[in-house]
Amino acid sequence: MESIKLNHITKIEGHASLLLEIDGDELKRCELAAVEGARLFEGIILGKHFLEVAAITSRICGICSCSHTMTSLKAIEKAMGITVSKQTRMLRRLMHLGEMIRSHSTHLYFLALPDYLGFASAISMAQKHKREFERALRLIYLGNEIVELVGGRSMHPVTTRVGGFSRIPEQGKIKKLRSSLARAERDAVATFRLFSRLKYPAFERPSQYCSIVGTGNQLCFDGRMLDTGEYRKYIVEQVHEYSNSKFSFFNGREYMVGAMARYNNRALQLSGDAKKLAKPLPESFSNPFFNNVCQALELVSCVEEAKELLGLKLRNERQRLKPKPGHGVAASEAPRGVLIHDYEFDERGYITAANIIPPTAHQLARMEEDIRNYVALRLSHCSKENLVHEVEKLIRAYDPCFSCSAHFLKVEIKQT
């Protein structure tokens, strides 16, 4: 029995391990584990006042700190019966778009693209592909600027509050940023064209696809609409002894979240240019490598929508907050997929129970099953080195965040 263990997979967020045990040409065992130290955020926020919670949960992840902040705020507001203004919803959406632009650009150019151009890293790729490297930096910088404009800084926003914002962006800064978006629109379109023309491995694996519909009150599983607040009735979380992250299942089967799931479920309202670019694409994808194409398409739409929202006229708002006992569940589409925060509060506004399901925990079981099938397909005609590279490429296509999921990659292959 030969064992292959990849102790560290580069170009992903966080740390994971993969154990493959092979007997001849047969894969006997496949275990994908989040080995990031347990984060314990669900325990950390117990006993915290509702005004403190979002600032803590944003630290679950740096690159997705806005998604955790806003999902946390939405769960608190549901529990407290707080309705936010249209302006607050639009500003939160703008900050979310900035995070999407930053996250997708980072993943596509610096984590995924080197695989397809034959480089070990983005740094080595930059020497021969300076234009693409600089385009990536411009898009990432734009995403950071948008987040900082609304949230006060580019990571872990400080202006976000239950019910609204502590301050709103200055009109002069909004106007200046909006004027710079013409270049960003061209960069986003060029990104889509680049990634839609890459040659991806042949690997069709139809799945269940989960995404959010509308304001987040419903989850869509392949066209079936389900109440977000009742997610525990149909999403089952399991603990596997080899992983610090839970594995999630719907109807006893693994499922996929993220850009490809949103595309397949038609959950994203594409902008004008993005709609035109999407016309030659199939109605749905079943090859997980095409998650990269779906992210690139979303990037175009996010830049265009951000430009539109930067035309908003803003005014100062205040809201009176009064704690009360309650239960609130909120779901948002983080860059990597569905993110759920679930809180219960006592009469003084202190948390008594919490559950958080980040995107990678939703689809860790799906990733593991994809690896199992992909390795089985390639085992008889792949060298050990090539097999490891191909598995890493598949995992990177999912754009996982193991820091979030642990509340990469070691690959171990055992062969006989």
Instruction: Convert the pLDDT of each residue in 347-364 to its tens digit.
Output: 999 999 999 999 988 999
Q: What is the domain-level CATH number for residue 276? A: 1.10.645.10
Our count of domains for the chain comes to 1
Low-confidence ranges of the chain (pLDDT < 70): 1-14, 35-39, 402-416
φ, ψ for residue 255 (rounded to 5)? -150, 165
Kindly state the percentage of the chain with pLDDT values over 70. Answer: 92
Query: Alpha-carbon distance 321 to 163, whole Å?
Result: 8
Q: What is the pLDDT of residue 34?
A: 77
Q: What tokens does 403 get?
A: 């820091």
Q: What is the pLDDT of residue 336?
A: 94
Q: What is the pLDDT of residue 338?
A: 96
Question: Which residue range(s) make up the domain with 399?
Answer: 2-415
User: pTM to 2 decimals?
Assistant: 0.92
Q: What is the pLDDT of residue 380?
A: 82
Angle at 82 between CA 77 and CA 83, to 5 degrees: 110
Cβ pair 212, 257 in contact under 8 A: no
φ, ψ for residue 412 (rounded to 5)? -115, 125
Q: What is the pLDDT of residue 407?
A: 41
Q: What is the pLDDT of residue 310?
A: 94
Q: What is the pLDDT of residue 46?
A: 95
The residue count of the chain comes to: 416
Query: Alpha-carbon distance 348 to 254, whole Å?
Result: 39
Q: What is the pLDDT of residue 87?
A: 96
Q: What is the pLDDT of residue 76?
A: 98
Q: What tokens does 288 get?
A: 């997980």
Q: What is the pLDDT of residue 243?
A: 81
Distances (CA, A) of 139 to 133, 150, 152: 10, 17, 19
Q: What is the pLDDT of residue 402?
A: 63
Which residues lie below 8 Å from residue 215, measured CB to CB, with a gap of 6+? none
Give 69-82 pLDDT, tens digit per residue. 999 999 999 999 99
Which residues lie below 8 Å from residue 185, measured CB to CB, with a gap of 6+? 273, 300, 303, 304, 307
Distances (CA, A) of 186 to 190, 265, 399: 6, 27, 24
Q: What is the pLDDT of residue 408?
A: 40
Q: Taking the CA atoms of 382, 385, 391 and 397 in sequence, report the sign of the dihedral they define.
A: negative
Cβ pair 298, 192 in contact under 8 A: no
Token pair 């707080």 is found at 82
